[in-house]
Structure 1
Amino acid sequence: MSATLFTNGVIWTGTEDADALLVVDGVIAALGDEARARGAEAERVDLGGGFLMASFGDGHAHPLYGGLEAVGPPVRACESVDEIVAAVKKYADEHPEQEWIVGASYDGSLAPGGLFDARWLDAAVPDRPVVLRAWDYHTLWVNSVALERAGITPDTPDPVLGEIPHRPDGSVLGTLREWGATDLVMNVMPPREEQERIDALGTAADYYLARGVTWVQDAWVEPADVATYIEAARRGVLRMRFNLALYADPRHFDAQVERFAAQRRAVDEIGSPMLTANTVKFFADGVVENETGALLAPYCTGLHSHGQQNWEGQSLAEAARRVDELGLQIHIHAIGDAAVRQALDAIEYVTRVNPPRDRRPVIAHCQLIDDADLGRFADLGVIPNMQPLWAQMDALMTVLTIPRLGAERAGKQYPIRTLEKSGAPLGFGSDWPVSSGAPLDGIAVAVSRCTVDGEPAGGWTPHEILPIDAALTAYTSGVANQAFAEHNWGRAVAGASADLVWLDRDPRTTAPDLLPKVTVRATYLGGATAHQADN
């Protein structure tokens, strides 16, 4: 038997405070006086006046893609087109053996309208294909050789569920939007080596564990990704918990749905406590920043009018019904208010036509919700998994989003507090690597609606500011509820797995602008140290 006693700090159970916590064989055994009495002979951890709580979960992210960002040109931190081009050139010069230069993810606000020209990359690498993903992962920026390899010419029509922007002279620009267009390039790219992909899961685990996260919903998994996760689990190299959301594509759904149950069985047969595949991911629309988010009223800029609905008519509802019949969880990306309504309608249809069961359907992002639909989340038991970090007046908001939505609609974005007060079972996620995967970064915005510089004073849309306890709950037990794991992790209570994070101070009494600076001293998974900060 192994036993560890945590003392000399504040221990937050999720609802109340304690001053001691005992872990026995990976499970929380007792708190307070009982913990001290039973843990007299246990190994001791002195919290040094710090704060111990349940570890965080991330209810919507892309860990495999995030890990792969470390393999390729380092463009994430670039603050101009010239910086990106220089980084691509430097990387290509240092890697002459690579047939394709592939990287992610650049800031889409660095070019007017988010439109990037192939010729800018041609100046850096004229003789090999270059493919860069935008921060939103709905957009590619490619050079001319990549366009040639994909067979994209000025005469190539916009594909189903995609757009190929052109220059004024009719030539192809080099920016590709949404799956129908991006797949034209992705389908001719050589696949990554399997070891490189497995290593990327390790990179993702290093990233998350250092930020106090022990469970992640991978919200976009294709068959090759399932195979990578299974192989990593078979080798015993998964170091945190992952749940896979199998990607549902409206262009190929009939063939996909027949494989979903088999993919889940293949994961279950591995028997890894670190891996499940209980979910199916739908994209109802795109993103506001490239005007493919589906809106009830037209965009102010009018390029795509109402945006893009990926599933026509009743097709999303019928697809969700078939997924639900397999006993799988529904997880729908919905950004615009039209997409959110379609997603809610689909879930309502499923609950009406399929037998009752514990479904816990998820709608992710929920950037814009019509007033008439706000109460439907609680009524239908739909989990709004929201990305609190996005609820701020940063460059993406001011340069790309507000001009497209207009001031009135823009002020209704990310109604986090409204949903929480309505009784909706709120959960948080990061969408990493689209944005920071550090929960404390997101929580800082949730409780302030301010940028890192404290702008605007008093917060943007301050009526949507969330109390700190509610924000912490959304990133812990709220995600555990989404994962059907509320009895296993998400709270620091007796009987729960000792999935814990030790912070250097109490976030509940820390100013919002200082929350991102709170140090994660250690992260524990099943009582074992999964991350230890350097002293």
Structure 2
Amino acid sequence: MSTSSQQQAAYATAPPTGTGSGEAITFSNANIWIDAKRRSTAITVKNGTVIAHGAQAEEYGSRSGTIVDMDGACMIPAFSDGHCHPIFGGMESMGPSISDLQSVDAIVAEVSRWAASHGEATWITGASYDPSLVPSGRFDARWLDAAVPDRPCYLRAHDYHSLWCNTAALNIAGITADTPDPELGSIDRRDDGSPLGTLREWHAVDLVMSKAPQTGQDTLARALAVACRAQNRRGITWMQDAWVDEGMHLPYLELLRNDSLTVRSNLAQRADPAFWMDQTEGFLNVRSDVTQTAADLKRSDMLSARTIKFFADGVVESGTGAMLEPYAASSDCGMEVWKREHLIRAVTHFDALGFQTHIHAIGDRAVRNALDAIEAAIRKNPPWDRRPVITHCQVIQPSDIPRFAALGVIANVEAYWAQMDPLMVELTAPRLAERTELQYPFASLEASGARLSHGSDWPVSSNDPLLAISTAMTRQTASGEPSGGWLPKERLAMRSAMGMALEGAAYQGWTDGFRGNLNIGSHADLAMLNADPEHASSDALAGIAVTQTWLKGARVC
């Protein structure tokens, strides 16, 4: 058996694990989604597994166990989040609270308040600000100097691809007018060439972040625990952590050992284009450590490290998404984090070791390069159940859409982004011009036979899957604009939109054998809603709330 086959077998045949009660619980008088096509009024769960539906469940409940009268409430399989950054999300609660602020003045005031109440902090860091608040997302160091003049300070943008720094942080990093732009990144400048205070993409951001103290494991574990609770509140019991750097698997192991990991998780270790071959041994060791620890604890269905993450490009709003043609009023085509041939070699290498491919691709050049890399790996390596993923899929040339289904590539989409919000209006659409109409082609991908899965990219955007599902259906803002939806031909029907967060993302994570539906034998990962999505109008869907979440037959929210 190959290495990849062994990994699959160990995961697929993992024994039931342990939070579910041994007592049978029958949920009756309910509106239960068994799967996309079947409904029931009752379900019985025992040892964390669905054992009966309908009349059989009612009969079982009348004979033994506990009966819970749901009073007509809606129950669905718990959601999955196929692309998120949980530790980053948890960390946002540990610094200045800026993510919902709508002006530079408000952000500066909050940073000033937090810094004044945390005199012990040698660095002031936080996330995340809205880059559309300022033209072209150009934030000035002097604005932060007014809040924190005596200590280095940096804030991360909503997209996590840009950094806003004060002058003290720029000075510690040695960034001056003479500092050249790094290979993978850029330094925004004033007219005289001096650094403005905004750094964009990998190497530029690292100039400052590499000087800051490293976050301790205790803090990371607390952040992950916060993130798990936040995901549970949204009805989520499986997630793909799509950005795991060295040591970031350790908080997951800590929570797993303490029986406090309440979201099943798969970890995607990030490959760096500068030294990816040197990372190979470490990636294998992390996968082995996670697999063995989970198996020893008899919790192999709770944690895995099966995936490698590649950033093929940046983001359109910063002009770093990799495009086939230059941006509007520019000669610049954006930034390829991995050149095409380089990406092909790396994807093929890790695919041969049994790692799932997960590629961030925003621009149409990045999407094409990602498809080319996956196709090359498929041609060179022996067949296996690889389930490759391209995430975000923002701008796709029509000729590339059929390649997703042909190659078995999962399109992991952040449907909440498919709206004319301020970020789209102020930063994205002006850069794309006529190519704006190529964005987020959900219905076209579905019609081509491609498999779609839901991702939130939280904390970049909301982790509420019902908001994303509603946006996929309407392609409207919260205020209902534009009438009829933006690019309405790419809207999805309700079952298709729900399916991305149920069956689609369950398939992405190899959990489709025991999650994503409530079939007999499935794990009892459940979400209770205060209304039935199928009978709600598309604009009302976003207002539906999760009232309870159950993981393997145990309530976690």
Amino acid at match of 2:554: A
Q: Which residue of 1 aligns with 2:118?
A: 95
Q: CA–CA distance in 2 between the matches of 1:202 and 1:227?
A: 13
| Match status 1:258 vs 2:275 | no
| Match status 1:286 vs 2:314 | yes
How far did residue 231 of structure 1 move? 2.6
Q: CA–CA distance in 2 between the matches of 1:39 and 1:363?
A: 44
| Match status 1:145 vs 2:173 | no
Amino acid at match of 1:465: R
| Match status 1:336 vs 2:363 | yes
The 5 A counterparts of 1:100-139 are 100-139=123-162
Q: Secondary structure at the match of 2:474?
A: coil
Structure 1 contact 27–498 (Cα < 8 Å) conserved: yes
> How many percent identity over aligned positions?
49
* TM-score calculated relative to the size of structure 2: 0.94
Q: CA–CA distance in 1 between the matches of 2:256 and 2:44?
A: 29
Q: CA–CA distance in 1 between the matches of 2:332 and 2:28?
A: 59
Q: CA–CA distance in 1 between the matches of 2:71 and 2:206?
A: 52
Q: CA–CA distance in 2 between the matches of 1:182 and 1:109?
A: 19
Q: Which residue of 2 aligns with 1:37?
A: 59
| Match status 1:349 vs 2:368 | no
Q: Which residue of 2 aligns with 1:21?
A: 43
Structure 1 contact 301–403 (Cα < 8 Å) conserved: no
Q: Secondary structure at the match of 1:224?
A: coil
How far did residue 68 of structure 1 move? 0.2
| Match status 1:476 vs 2:498 | no
Structure 1 contact 285–293 (Cα < 8 Å) conserved: yes
Q: Which residue of 1 aligns with 2:467?
A: 441
Amino acid at match of 2:159: D
Structure 1 contact 320–346 (Cα < 8 Å) conserved: yes
Q: CA–CA distance in 2 between the matches of 1:33 and 1:231?
A: 42
Q: CA–CA distance in 2 between the matches of 1:455 and 1:48?
A: 36
Structure 1 contact 391–449 (Cα < 8 Å) conserved: yes
Q: Secondary structure at the match of 1:174?
A: strand
Q: Which residue of 1 aligns with 2:27?
A: 6
Q: What are the superposed Cα offsets for residues 254-306 of structure 1, whole Å, 9 maximum, x if unpaired?
A: 2112221111001112114422101000000000000000011110042x611
Q: Which residue of 1 aligns with 2:332?
A: 305
Structure 1 contact 147–174 (Cα < 8 Å) conserved: yes
The 5 A counterparts of 1:354-365 are 354-365=381-392
Q: CA–CA distance in 2 between the matches of 1:306 and 1:45?
A: 58
Q: CA–CA distance in 1 between the matches of 2:38 and 2:212?
A: 52
Aligned pair partner of 2:256 in 228, 233, 240: 233
Q: CA–CA distance in 2 between the matches of 1:518 and 1:265?
A: 40
Q: CA–CA distance in 2 between the matches of 1:4 and 1:275?
A: 26
The 5 A counterparts of 1:373-392 are 373-392=400-419
Structure 1 contact 57–215 (Cα < 8 Å) conserved: yes
**Which deviates further from its counterpart, 78-87 or 271-280?**
271-280
Q: CA–CA distance in 2 between the matches of 1:449 and 1:432?
A: 19
Q: Which residue of 2 aligns with 1:405?
A: 432
Q: Secondary structure at the match of 2:482?
A: coil
Q: CA–CA distance in 2 between the matches of 1:181 and 1:297?
A: 24
Q: What are the superposed Cα offsets for residues 301-348 of structure 1, whole Å, 9 maximum, x if unpaired?
A: 42x611001112411011001111110100000000000000000000
Aligned pair partner of 1:275 in 303, 311, 316: 303
Q: What are the superposed Cα offsets for residues 455-496 of structure 1, whole Å, 9 maximum, x if unpaired?
A: 111111111110111111110110010001111111111110
Amino acid at match of 1:394: D
**Which deviates further from its counterpart, 6-15 or 21-30?**
6-15
Q: CA–CA distance in 1 between the matches of 2:175 and 2:353?
A: 39
Q: CA–CA distance in 1 between the matches of 2:275 and 2:329?
A: 32
Q: CA–CA distance in 1 between the matches of 2:223 and 2:340?
A: 38
Structure 1 contact 47–502 (Cα < 8 Å) conserved: no
Amino acid at match of 1:9: A
Q: CA–CA distance in 2 between the matches of 1:206 and 1:238?
A: 9
Q: Secondary structure at the match of 1:103?
A: strand
Q: What are the superposed Cα offsets for residues 102-140 of structure 1, whole Å, 9 maximum, x if unpaired?
A: 100000001110110111100111110111000000110
Q: Secondary structure at the match of 1:457?
A: coil
Aligned pair partner of 1:172 in 190, 195, 214: 195
Q: CA–CA distance in 2 between the matches of 1:195 and 1:515?
A: 38
Q: CA–CA distance in 2 between the matches of 1:217 and 1:20?
A: 31
**Which deviates further from its counterpart, 14-23 or 334-343?**
14-23
Q: Secondary structure at the match of 1:180?
A: helix
Q: Secondary structure at the match of 1:68?
A: helix
Amino acid at match of 1:43: T
Aligned pair partner of 1:512 in 538, 548, 555: 538
The 5 A counterparts of 1:26-65 are 26-40=48-62, 41-65=64-88
Q: What are the superposed Cα offsets for residues 472-526 of structure 1, whole Å, 9 maximum, x if unpaired?
A: 1110110010001111111111110000101111011112222222121110100
Q: Secondary structure at the match of 2:195?
A: coil
**Which deviates further from its counterpart, 278-287 or 308-317?**
308-317
How far did residue 43 of structure 1 move? 0.9
Q: CA–CA distance in 2 between the matches of 1:5 and 1:69?
A: 39
How far did residue 382 of structure 1 move? 0.1
**Which deviates further from its counterpart, 214-223 or 193-202?**
193-202
Amino acid at match of 2:536: T
Amino acid at match of 2:405: A
Aligned pair partner of 1:370 in 382, 391, 397: 397
* TM-score calculated relative to the size of structure 1: 0.97
Q: Which residue of 2 aligns with 1:163?
A: 186
**Which deviates further from its counterpart, 386-395 or 194-203?**
194-203
Q: Which residue of 1 aligns with 2:458?
A: 432
Structure 1 contact 386–428 (Cα < 8 Å) conserved: yes
Q: Which residue of 1 aligns with 2:12?
A: none
How far did residue 38 of structure 1 move? 2.3
Structure 1 contact 178–286 (Cα < 8 Å) conserved: yes
Unaligned runs of at least 5 residues, structure 1? none
Q: CA–CA distance in 2 between the matches of 1:184 and 1:398?
A: 30
Q: CA–CA distance in 2 between the matches of 1:328 and 1:38?
A: 43
Q: CA–CA distance in 2 between the matches of 1:148 and 1:225?
A: 29
Amino acid at match of 1:215: W
Amino acid at match of 1:21: I
Structure 1 contact 122–144 (Cα < 8 Å) conserved: yes
Q: CA–CA distance in 2 between the matches of 1:228 and 1:285?
A: 28
Q: CA–CA distance in 1 between the matches of 2:211 and 2:289?
A: 28
Q: Which runs of structure 1 show a deviation greater than 4 angstroms over 4 or more consecutive aligned residues?
A: none
**Which deviates further from its counterpart, 254-263 or 351-360?**
254-263
Q: Which residue of 2 aligns with 1:197?
A: 220
Structure 1 contact 22–29 (Cα < 8 Å) conserved: yes
Q: CA–CA distance in 1 between the matches of 2:312 and 2:387?
A: 18
Amino acid at match of 1:422: S
How far did residue 440 of structure 1 move? 0.5
Structure 2 contact 225–255 (Cα < 8 Å) conserved: no
Q: Which residue of 2 aligns with 1:212?
A: 235
| Match status 1:420 vs 2:446 | yes
Amino acid at match of 2:91: L
Structure 2 contact 224–251 (Cα < 8 Å) conserved: no
**Which deviates further from its counterpart, 498-507 or 149-158?**
149-158
| Match status 1:81 vs 2:101 | no
How far did residue 44 of structure 1 move? 1.6
How far did residue 229 of structure 1 move? 2.1
Q: CA–CA distance in 1 between the matches of 2:359 and 2:90?
A: 23
